[in-house]
Structures are given as C-alpha cells and as structure tokens.
Amino acid sequence: MMIRCISMMIDRLREYVAHETPTGDAQALNAFADRLLDRYAELGGTARRVAAPTGDHVVADFPGRGPLAAEAPLLFIGHHDTVWPIGQLRDVMPWREQDGLLHGPGVFDMKGGLVVLEAALEQIADRDHRPVRVVVVADEEVGSPTARELVAAESSGVVAAFGFESPLPNGDLKTARRGSSRVRIEVTGREAHAALDPGRGVSAIDELIDQLIAVRALVASYADVLCNVGTITGGGRTNVVPGAAAADVGFRFIDPETERAVLDAVTGLEPIRPDAQLQVSVMSNRPAWQPSAATDALLHKVQAAAQSVGQEIGGAPASGAADTNLTGWLGIPTLDGLGPRGKGAHAVHEQVIAASLAERADLVAAIIMTI
C-alpha cells in the first residue's frame, strides 16, 4: 500500500493557498515560483524558471530510474496563478476545513493539483519509472499568452501529457476540450457635446453595440459555438458622445474548422459608421483538442494503473480549456483532470474533498511507474 500522508498534504495545500497568486501579479507569482523551485529540488528534480513579464513559469526535470530511465519522459502540466485578487483569502474566502472538505481561493483550481503532483513525485522517488518533466505556468487563467511557446517546446519528445486541473464532477479525467479564444474589440469614435453638437460626434458605444450584435448573429449561424461577452468599457458622461469603447469576448469551439471560420469573421469585422475606427485583436488562443485513438489508448493504460491501487477511473470530453488543449492539438496522447475532486472553480464556494488528495497522489504515482 502506498504511503498516504494526508495531513502533510493538507498542510502543504493550506500553505499554498495562503500565498495568493493572482494572474498578472508578477511579484506574488515569482515568490510562489521560488517555492516550487525549492520544492522540486527537494524532490530530486532539476528546476529552472522561465522569465515572463507578468510572472515567471517553472520547468523541472526528474530523472528516470531502472529499465525506463532512458525512455521518453511523461509531461505534467499545471499552473500557479488563480483568478482571485490579493485579499480574497482574508476578506471573502478564508481557509476552512469542515466535514472532510477544504475551502479557500485556488484550493481546487489548481493548487490542490500541485500538491497532488508533489506527493506523487515523493512516492516514486525510489521506484523504477521513466523520466518526468513538469511545466507550471503563471498565466493559465488568461489563456497562457506568455506560456504557449514554452508548453509547445517542452512537449517535444514526450510520450504522453497529463494536466493537473480539476477532474470532471464525478472524478473522471478529461479526454478532449473545446478550443478557447479571447478577443478584444476596440472602437474609436469622436467625442462631441451630446446636446449642442451631436451630429459631429461618433458614438463608440453605439458602434460597439452594433458590432456585438453582429458577432451574436455570426455565432448563431454555427452549431455548438459558445460566446460570452465578459467585459464592456467605454464612455464617461451622459452629455458627451463617447469617443472610445471596448469589449472582451470569449469563444469556445469544438473543432478547428469552426474555430478558424469564426475567428476569421470576427477579426475581419468592419466599422458600421463611416467615421468609426475598429480594431479586433486575438489576445489568447487555445486550439480545440479533439478525441483521438491515442488518448483513448492512454486512458486504458491509466485505468489499469488505477486498478493497481484499488481505484476506478473514466474519461470524457470537457467544455473548459487549459494548457492540455495545446498538447492534445499537437497530437500528443493527453489526459487532464488529475487534480483532487471537489467543486466551485472560479466561485466563492471553491472546495476540494480532502481524502481525494491522497487518492489522486496514489493514482499519479501508479501512472508514473506503469506507463
């Protein structure tokens, strides 16, 4: 029976949650990266940081042992940024242990996954296994704009990729993901007095509204495309025709053909008003990761590993996107969802089931030793 030090895992998770790491807060993220570098070195890895202006990423390589020591590595992918601002822990979501559940900002997405990974690496330290490569990125929650090239580069030559995001609600792994793109639509109009000289003005807000209506009509012409207008900004006073407005829009796609068609159409939008100026930018993009025979074969191997530690595991596609979109799109056998079971990602009731930390660590250790 593999060692299950659940209390130490809970302590580690509490420590990680206490170190708040909002996306884009380079100082907080870099300090957390220091923790990871030290921890991976303690576990026998060779770790390095990859500098990025909004927060550094971490890469660590763990050598193999025994007959598989020279084989291609397994790639494990995670992130240390969260959606929560500094102060969320103190003011809104204090750490809490109750009825077998652990509550706090980032506990489920995805610092619990980082703790699971560390515990698994500790378990297999003196066991035979192929090499392991770990990539932990600092901007996953906004689409990994500075980490995409890093993930692609570190994916080269690996035998399979695994993500430590949260699993499906029943604990199953994720075998495919929708593509995800963030698009910013910016409009420049012309300011004028709204009563004395309205004809001279060009309303950026009116133009933006009409463009968003056009986007809605475009999306409606495709099946299974999700579209969410996440933010709208613009204007200032009701007596001034607004000269600037912008919206950030999130799209989700099930296949690359639809993704390309929709993004081409959106980035090709033209101003409706003669004197309005329009700029459309793709801020981040994760290609659709579609089901494949290679991933199905990997799932079968993981199911056998799970049985070796008394567990059963399934798999199914998921709607959310993550860095595993890229490895799956590149054709690498990929599975995601190795983080602990729980619920409430990006919500104030975010939580994990404490016992699942050890269960997942046992599963990951079995995967490393058998694949």
- Write out the catalytic residue numbers: 81, 140
Query: β-pairing, 74-79 with 132-137?
Result: parallel
Whether 264 contacts 282, CB under 8 Å: no
DSSP reduced 3-state for 28 = helix
Give the rounded distance of the alpha carbon of 267 from its chain centre: 24
Whether 341 contacts 314, CB under 8 Å: no
DSSP reduced 3-state for 31 = helix
Rounded-to-integer distance, Cα 298 and Cα 176, Å = 12
Whether 370 contacts 18, CB under 8 Å: no
Name the token pair of 33: 């990266």
H helices present in 84-124, as ranges: 88-91, 112-123
Rounded-to-integer distance, Cα 42 and Cα 322, Å = 28
